[in-house]
Chains A and B, each alone.
Chain A
Amino acid sequence: AQKITQTQPGMFVQEKEAVTLDCTYDTSDPSYGLFWYKQPSSGEMIFLIYQGSYDQQNATEGRYSLNFQKARKSANLVISASQLGDSAMYFCAMRELSSGGSYIPTFGRGTSLIVHP
């Protein structure tokens, strides 16, 4: 079974509107973390937001917020007031304890977001 599932290969949004990118995860580790990264066409990986499994409140960073629903094992990224520069690939990732005793990350396949003017 996939540890991180991003079911939307591509999403389109109008500039200035909000958009939600879906991410579901699977883990038996009670102490895990969830990340979102942005990868523009230039190729670099840019950290956006982090949510720990014990965090009571949803993480927010500027226009980015993480809608964390622990019981449903979902960690959706919400981008408010979309800008043209938000057009990129977005990856959801999870940090969990490996069998070797170290925390290692797993990435989803990504969602391509295109913002229309």
Chain B
Amino acid sequence: NAGVTQTPKFRILKIGQSMTLQCTQDMNHNYMYWYRQDPGMGLKLIYYSVGAGITDKGEVPNGYNVSRSTTEDFPLRLELAAPSQTSVYFCASTKDSTLSYEQYFGPGTRLTVT
């Protein structure tokens, strides 16, 4: 099992550009999440999904969009990138059942918007 994979690892965007952060998990987890982590801070939830075709906003959704067409994939789309979106982005997944509530995290994507 690869667990949770994210691509790219690093990216520099110019203001106004768009990009998609990819996230894939091979554990058949129903829940998937996107977080951002600003320097010296905890993780803030951007969007989450409880299954294919179902997504919902988290604490900081503005400027982002997501889709979940399959159980495995949960891409995060940034439209019109702004310097405020400079952050480290983590994707995570969990089965969220009585058997396990542990979230499995990807390695993160470090994004800089200049």
A contacts, CB < 8 Å to B: 4, 33, 35, 43-45, 47, 50, 52, 91, 93, 95, 98, 100, 102-110
Known pairs A91-B43, A104-B45; A44 contacts B105 (CB<8 A): yes
Question: A-B pairs with the 4 shortest C-beta distances?
Answer: A107-B42, A45-B105, A107-B43, A47-B102
B85 located at the interface, meaning its Cβ lies under 8 Å from any Cβ of chain A in the complex:
no
Query: Interface on chain A toward B: helix, strand, loop, or mixed SS?
Result: strand
Residues of the A chain whose Cβ atoms lie less than 8 Å from the Cβ of B103: 35, 45, 47, 105
Interface string of B103-114 (1 = CB under 8 A from A): 111011000000
Query: Interface on chain B toward A: helix, strand, loop, or mixed SS?
Result: strand
B56 located at the interface, meaning its Cβ lies under 8 Å from any Cβ of chain A in the complex:
yes
Among B42, B48, B101, point to the contact of A109 (Cβ < 8 A). B42
